[in-house]
Amino acid sequence: MQTLILLGHSTKDAESIKTKKKTSFAKFSLAVNEYNSKTKEERSTFYDILVFGKQAEAALEKVKKGDMVMVVGKPETEAYISAITNQPKAQITVTAENWRVLK
């Protein structure tokens, strides 16, 4: 079992999603920046965050674009081939167990 602890900025407001079975959840994206002191370069990794239950309702109210958010959750990686570049890509989705907007 893997658990990630992420600290980054929300790239957009949390949005409400409903599945075909009428289950509701919240979704937002998180940009996590890393700085390499040797090369003096910054790199961003983007994560899709899924939040369920009562925490999803709170996320819809509280998570806004640009907010610093901490997320603890389980990652899932999906590999695919880009339709634009025909190159392998990966998308990381994290199902949040806990999250908090930091002020």
**33/89 Cα distance (integer angstroms):** 19
Which domains occur in the chain, in start order?
Answer: 4-102 (2.40.50.140)
Which pLDDT does position 18 carry in this prediction? 85
Does pLDDT of 48 surpass 80?
yes
Burial class (CB in 10 A: 0-12, 13-18, 19+), 41: exposed
**pLDDT at 51 (0 to 100):** 96
Q: What is the mean pLDDT of residues 73-101?
A: 93
Instruction: Quote the pLDDT of residue 19.
Output: 82
Give the pLDDT confidence of 6-21 residue by residue, as tens digits: 999 999 999 999 888 8
